[in-house]
Amino acid sequence: MKNALITGITGQDGSYLTEYLLAKGYHVTGVVRDLAKAKGNEVLSQHAGVKLDEWDMRDQGKFSEILRKRKPIEVYNFAAYTSGADMFEDSVDIGEVNGLAVTRILDSIREVNLKIRFCQASSREVFGEAVESPQTERTITNPRSPYGAAKLYADAMINIYRERYKMFACSAILYNHESPRRGLHFVTRKITNTAVRIKLGLEKELLLGNLDAQRDWGFAGDTVNAMWLMLQQDQAGDYIVATGETHTVRELCEHAFSYLDLDYLEYVREDVNSYRPVEPAILVGDANKAISELGWNAQVTFKELICMMVDADMQLLKS
C-alpha cells in the first residue's frame, strides 16, 4: 500500500487531498504545526487512520526524521501563508514558510530518499502584474507581493533540484480554487455565507470591494486531483491548474443570492476602501498542458461551485 505525506493537511486543499488519497487506498500522514489543534480538525476526525506528525518548518532535521519514519512515496506541500490582504504583513516569515521551508523539504528528500515524488502548491501570484493573459507555464513571472516572491523562489528551487539531483519534483501553479471548506476571510465564502445569513434574517447587507474584479475560480477537489496526476507521470514537470474562465465578483453575488431567491442588488454594497489596485492583465490560467499531458479537466462548473457552497453554509448555519 502506498504512503503519502501531506503538509498543511488541515487546510482546504489538504483535507480534500486526504479524502482523495484514502479513497485510492493510500496510507496518509499529515504534517502540522500544532498537533493538539490538528486532532480537533473536523475532516481528520472522520478518518481515524490518518497519522499526524508535528513540524516546525524551520527544522529540516525533524522533517528528515518524519520521512524516515513514515516512508512516503509521495509528498504534497500545502503548508504556507495564504494569499490575500495580509500578503504584505510579515515579509520575513512569509519568505521562511512559503519559500525556504520548501527548500528544506527538497533537501530532506535528497538526503533520505531521492525516489520520493514531491508536489508543491505554487500560485498564480508568481505572475503578479502579468505581461499576457491567459498565462501559461512559459509566461514571464513578475510577482508583486512577498507571497508571490516566496512562491516563485520555491518554484525556482524545485527546478534546480529537479535538474541537479534528478528529483521528481513538480510545481502546481494554482489559480483561485474554492469550496465549502474555504475560510470566511476569502471573498467567495464571505459572499455565500453572508447571503445565507441574510436569507435567514441574521444579516442585512454585505460590504464588498470592486464588484467587477475578475478571477479564475475553480473547485478545490478538482485542483488536488490534478496534483495527484502530476505525480503519476513518467516525467516531472510544472503545470498550471486553472479553469481558463474568468468571472466577476458581481457574477458570484448574482449566482449566490439568486440561488436563495434574493436579488443581490438589494443587499450588496461596494466599499471603496476595500478596492484592490487595478490589474493590468487578467489573471486567468491556460491549463492546456495539464489537459493534454495529464488528462485532467475541471469537473465542477463555476455555478455548481457557488451552489455547493451556499448549500453547505445553509446547512452549517441552520445547525
pLDDT 10s digits, 61-89: 999 999 999 999 999 999 988 765 566 67
Can you give the pLDDT at residue 308?
98
Q: Report the percent of the chain where pLDDT is more than 90.
A: 85
- 239 forms beta bridges with 172
pLDDT band at 285 (very low <50, low <70, confident <90, very high): very high
Q: How far apart are CA 133 and CA 139, in angstroms?
A: 9
**Who has greater pLDDT, 169 or 37?**
169
Measured at the CA of 157, the angle between CA 155 and CA 158, to 5 degrees, comes to 65
- What pTM was estimated for this model as a whole? 0.94
Closest CA to 155 of 194, 216, 106, 112: 106
Kindly report the backbone phi and psi dihedral angles of residue 246, in degrees, each rounded to the nearest multiple of 5, phi listed first.
-115, 145
CATH of domain 3-177+217-241: 3.40.50.720
From the list 125, 178, 251, 254, the catalytic residue is 125
Q: What is the pLDDT of residues 256-271, one digit of tens each?
A: 999 999 999 999 999 8
Listed in order, the ranges of the chain carrying CATH 3.90.25.10 are 182-216+245-282+300-318
Question: Residue 168: is its pLDDT beyond 60?
Answer: yes
The DSSP element (H or E) to which 111 belongs, if any, is helix 101-112
Is residue 272's pLDDT more than 90? no
Quick check: is 125 catalytic?
yes
How much is the pLDDT for 129? 86
Superfamily of structural domain 182-216+245-282+300-318: UDP-galactose 4-epimerase, domain 1 (3.90.25.10)
- What band does 278 get if pLDDT is binned at 50, 70 and 90? low
For 162, list phi and psi in degrees, rounded to 5: -65, -40
Q: CB within 8 A of 288, min separation 6: which ones?
A: 136
Q: Is 178 a catalytic residue?
A: no
Q: Is 274 a catalytic residue?
A: no
Model pLDDT for residues 176-197, shown as the tens digit of each residue: 999 999 999 999 999 999 999 9
Active-site pick, 16, 76, 147, 264: 147
122, 123, 171, 179: the catalytic one is: 123
Domain(s) labelled CATH 3.40.50.720 in the chain stretch across 3-177+217-241
pLDDT higher than 80, residue 122: yes
Higher pLDDT, 44 or 20: 20
Phi, psi of 205 (to 5 degrees): -155, 170
> Which distant-in-sequence residues (6+ apart) come within 8 Å of 183 by Cβ?
12, 82, 189
Q: Which residue has the higher pLDDT, 218 or 272?
A: 218
Distance of CA 259 to the CA centre of its chain: 26
CA nearest neighbour of 317 among 203, 241, 147, 240 = 203
